Structure 1
């Protein structure tokens, strides 16, 4: 299943083999879109993974923080794919908490009747930047 520790595997191949994405091109698009971080840094699809790296993966509403346990560039069944990584306890708790909030309707969004103008867009970006800083603290 897993390759020897000396083997090198690209991030996009590993994400596909670990069944986070259905195709390598979807994995590549997610990486290029900034949805995948390795050890807190943006990465390129060709980046080679190492055992022990921490990946942050944003899929839809959820952010998952996983530790790479094994390397593989072959896509196999889901039970084998789950042996390639381990999701952190904090990530599981946070994901379940956010899912419960969404289910309760606490995360509902305000729908606007117009596109944001330049001033509103700056306010949105400032708010998002502040939210990201608060989460990293």
Structure 2
């Protein structure tokens, strides 16, 4: 786990799993092999690539592009608060309430309200 330079390193697939970005290590390995992840701006496609504290990872996750700085190597896949200690989020995604506004019952799209359904039935009579 140690590099020639003496800085501890950890496989990127294992680190992504420890940091709880992906649900399983095999998913993390497959994700890395797609080549959609960058380490310090360099695109990688090998799950065996070592990441060290100070490395910056950029990758798409859901509707967001995540930019995180590796703070520490993981020792286990623990609870979420423990996993959040492994990285610093450099570009946190916007609040869900701002990113996805809730639909109004007044909106013209989607399922009609009870009042609108009654109006439709009245028109059909």
For residue 94 of structure 2, what is the aligned residue in structure 1?
Answer: 96
Cα gap change, 1:101 to 1:7, in 2 (>3 Å): closer
RMSD (Å), alpha carbons: 2.3
The higher radius of gyration belongs to 2
Which of 86, 105, 108 is matched with 1:84 structurally?
A: 86
Structure 1 counterpart of 2:51: 49
Q: How many pairs were matched up?
A: 97
Give the superposition deviation at 1:72. 1.3
Is 1:36–1:58's contact at 8 Å kept on the other side of the alignment?
yes
Alignment of 1:57-72 (within 5 A): 57-72=59-74
Structure 2 unaligned segments of length 5 or more: list them.
1-5, 104-125
State the match for 2:108 in structure 1: none
Alignment TM-score, normalising by the size of structure 1: 0.62
Gaps of 5+ in 1: 106-137
* Counterpart check, 1:24 vs 2:25: yes
Aligned to 1:36: 37
Q: CA deviation at 1:98?
A: 9.2
Aligned to 2:12: 11
**Which secondary structure does the structure 2 equivalent of 1:70 belong to?**
coil
Q: Please identify which structure carries the higher helix content.
A: 1
After superposition, give the CA deviation of every residue in 1:68-119 in whole Å (9 maximum; x if it has no partner): 000014211111110000001xx12xx31897355489xxxxxxxxxxxxxx
SS of the aligned residue for 1:96 comes to coil
| Offset, 1:57 | 2.2
